[in-house]
Amino acid sequence: MDRIGKEINMWVVVLMGAVPLFFGTSAQGAIVGETGSTFHLMAKRDVIVTSDGDSFIMWGYAIRDAVTGKTGRAQYPGPTLIVTEDVPVTITLRNDLAPESGYVSIVFPGQEVTATGGLPGLLTREVQSAEILPGQGYEQVAYTFTPREPGTYIYRSGTRADLQVEMGLFGALIVRPAATPPGGDPAKKYAYNHVDSQYDQEYLYMMSEMDPRIHRQVEEKRWGSIDFTTYFPTNWFINGRNYPDLLAENNVPWLPTQPYNCQPRMHPGEKVLIRFIGAGRDIHPMHFHGNDFETIAVDGRLLSSGPGAGPDLAWRATTIKSMPGQTADLIWGWTGKELGWDIYGHSPDDPLEPYEYAPNHGKPFPVVLPPRDAVTYGAFYSGSPFLGGEGELPPGHGGLNANGGYFYMWHSHTEKELTSNDIWPGGLISFMIVEHPDVPID
């Protein structure tokens, strides 16, 4: 099965270039990452690719096997660390960068961290390159903390953070609740210790940007030329990839240092949790088409008027700015309510689908569609205006919507960020796909 899938993809690569690579793959409705309470990381140098076909030197946190000492590839962003509330966490860090790259470290905003080993730095304890004084006890730093509240958090370099965050030393920290909240359903998922944080699908939106000049300067060791007062990014990333690469599956072999995708999918009526993180230094106004979301938490704290009140101070909006170093949890939903037609193409006698908007049941599509060959169809049109429907399309039209889902563009409203080094489309574009209830997700 995998082999056939790969072969098909290879044909696509040969015939059509990179754009359709993502298609036909199924994204996962959960956030992938490293689960546990002890993590061993190594700061390493590697290369990422951008969707305009360029490649850049990066520094990333890699997973290190403490027993064998072997490390994986550096990642952009670093591994998503998934831990549990009230369970003590230990993260060790070593430094495989060249000595001239400097020391490295990690800070965990919102956590009370104890750092041991390594050497004192400005924000926390740091670790020098393994090439300097090996075996003297400076080669590892350990960070321990006990996450007291569930939620979405960020970790970033705390050493020359302007340069090191630009180079890729950051990642997401997700703290899952220790137990089902009071009144909750053990079969369901919750982001916080309150029933109003329930969700069905969750996705990471970790925003970052890049000024290619900085990476060239690092590559060419022109350290003295690096000047963040002239910072001018031209590449933008969600979870370390830009459009359209971010629609491909997690862990695809052609993006070995960018393992995480951003392809949200859901069924009508489900609650989608967006874990929204500003990892870089700029602010990105992300616009979630299709419906309002509710911001239920900021910086890993429910927006609450008091203990037990739940997210009663949540606010509704369609656009939210990613704040550097900060996190927000958004809950988004979609049922097709008031769309104006029966999205399932029911006749009035058919039974209702779950969460179907009853007043539109059996209501016909309100527009007479033009003849098949009279118009040009976008790549995401299935050929049918109905959810899960498929229709005939002219050759070369459509083709990127396997299940007849509804596509909603989720993108930055700083429109110049929808490019990769001035090539459109690229950068901060993603799509939520609303799938028919019968289409499996994950």
Partner 1 sequence: MFSQKMIRFQGFFLFLCLLSIMGGKAFAAEYWVWVDAADMTMADGRKVPVWGFGLDRDNDFLTTDDHAVSVPGPTLRVGPGDNSLIIHLKNNLREPVSLNILGQRLTNNRGPVWTNFPDDTKTWSGSRPVGNYTARVRSFTHETLPGEVGEYRWESFRSGTFLLQSGTNPAKQVEMGMYLPIVKDTSEGSAYADVSYDAEVVVIFHEIDPAIHQAIAAGTYGAVPGATITSSVNREPKYFLMNGVSYPSDGLLPINGKMSLLQGERLLIRFLNAGLETHVPQILGLYMSLWAEDGNRYRYAKEAYGFELSAGKTVDSILVSPMNPPWEYPLYDARLNLNNAGASPGGMLSYVKSSLPDHR
Cβ proximity to partner 1, 228 vs 424, nearer residue: 228
Amino acid of residue 296? I
Cβ proximity to partner 1, 310 vs 404, nearer residue: 310
Cβ proximity to partner 1, 145 vs 334, nearer residue: 145
For the record, the structure tokens of 52 come out as: 């305009």
CB of 104 to partner 1, least distance (A): 14
Tell me how far CA of residue 43 lies from CA of 8, 78, 306, in angstroms.
Answer: 36, 9, 41
CB 378 within 8 A of CB 398: yes
CB of 120 to partner 1, least distance (A): 11
Cβ proximity to partner 1, 145 vs 344, nearer residue: 145
CB of 224 to partner 1, least distance (A): 9
CB of 410 to partner 1, least distance (A): 21
CB of 326 to partner 1, least distance (A): 5
CB of 315 to partner 1, least distance (A): 11
Cβ proximity to partner 1, 306 vs 351, nearer residue: 306
Torsions phi, psi for 363 (to 5 deg): -75, 130
Cβ proximity to partner 1, 86 vs 282, nearer residue: 282
Going by their DSSP bridges, the two strands 34-35 and 81-84 should be labelled as parallel
CB of 406 to partner 1, least distance (A): 33
CB of 101 to partner 1, least distance (A): 13
For the record, the structure tokens of 280 come out as: 């870089």
Could you give the CA distance from residue 99 to residue 198 in angstroms, rounded to a whole number? 47
**Whole-angstrom distance between the N-terminal and C-terminal Cα of the chain?**
16
Cβ proximity to partner 1, 112 vs 415, nearer residue: 112
Cβ proximity to partner 1, 226 vs 402, nearer residue: 226
CB of 140 to partner 1, least distance (A): 21
Cβ proximity to partner 1, 304 vs 420, nearer residue: 304
CB of 84 to partner 1, least distance (A): 20
Cβ proximity to partner 1, 162 vs 200, nearer residue: 162
**Positions that interact with partner 1 (CB under 8 A):** 107-113, 122-124, 158, 160-163, 165, 226-230, 281-283, 298-299, 301, 303-306, 313, 321, 323-326
Could you give the CA distance from residue 377 to residue 173 in angstroms, rounded to a whole number? 41
